[in-house]
Amino acid sequence: MDVVGLGKDFDSRVVSSIVSPPLVVRLDGASFGKALAGFTWPRDDTVHKALISAAKELMRRFSSDLALVISDELSVFLLSYVPFGGREFKLVSSMAGLASAVVSSALSRVLYFDARVIPLRDSCNDILRYLLYRVRVGFNNYHVEIAQRGSLIPRNATPHINNVIKALGGAKLSWESLGTCLVRSRVELMGVDRRSGAPIKYVRRRIIEVNPLEVINDLYQKCPQAK
């Protein structure tokens, strides 16, 4: 048996494509509604924190500077570097596997994600457009689910979101509807000089949690075509 020859043959059939930055990898929780029975519906703080932990780990491992956590999905932006030589199948399988492990461990449930790569046209305007898109989808879904569960709107014919908000008596602008953005930021810290014992200031890059509206507003100011 020619093991080397067989290996080359089957490896050559692997379905793959090469991707390059900037891009965003979106990971969606698979059947989370059923798997997370017993948690607060439609958004649970413990679940959201577990998703944030997974997103932070993905940012650290894959050199990401920005992520969005909303509903049961994670969007991780790779703007300057893609590992594995850009091989898409390795990227999505590794990210989905890591996210699944972190969230499953945190929630003591067997949970998993599917993942897809979405190329971005640039590192400013397209990020803004994507964030607006996913935040709006999460915002709409949250309010529709609340209104339907409260029998304020029919389940078989969803009204315009403006009418949904009106039926609810107003919009809820919180992490439940808007999600959480994670960004790498320069943080000034205080320390002590080892030799002199004098207090010193130093700067480190840290992943911090930010309201998505703040990130969107910042991009509106920075992106030339957004104004």
CATH number at residue 101: 3.30.70.3000
pLDDT digits (tens, 9 = 90+) for 181-199: 999 987 776 777 777 777 7
- pLDDT for residue 12: 83
| Least confident range of 14-23, 164-173, 209-218 | 14-23
Q: 163 vs 200, which has greater pLDDT?
A: 163
- pLDDT for residue 19: 97
Domain annotation covers residue 4: no
- pLDDT for residue 202: 66
Domain annotation covers residue 153: yes
Averaged pLDDT score across all residues of the chain? 93
Q: Whole domain around residue 133: which residue ranges?
A: 10-226
- pLDDT for residue 158: 84
- pLDDT for residue 24: 98
What's the total number of domains in the chain?
1
Residue 90 above 60 pLDDT?
yes
CA 7 to chain centre: 36
Residue 105 above 90 pLDDT?
yes
With tokens 């990971």, the residue in question is 27
Percent of the chain with pLDDT over 90: 78
Q: 130 vs 205, which has greater pLDDT?
A: 130
Domain annotation covers residue 2: no
Domain annotation covers residue 103: yes
Ordered DSSP codes for the chain: --HHHHHHHHHTT----B--SSEEEEEEETTHHHHTBTB-SS--HHHHHHHHHHHHHHHHHTT-SEEEEETTEEEEEESS--SGGGBHHHHHHHHHHHHHHHHHHHHTS---EEEEEEE-S-SSHHHHHHHHHHHHHHHHHHHHHHHHHTTSS-SSSPPPHHHHHHHHTS---SHHHH-EEEEEEEEEEEEE-TTT--EEEEEEEEEEEE-HHHHHHHHHHH-GGG-
Domain annotation covers residue 174: yes
Domain annotation covers residue 54: yes
Domain annotation covers residue 177: yes
Note the pTM of the prediction, 2 decimals: 0.90
pLDDT digits (tens, 9 = 90+) for 55-73: 999 999 999 999 999 999 9
Residue 223 above 90 pLDDT?
yes
- pLDDT for residue 58: 99
Domain annotation covers residue 211: yes
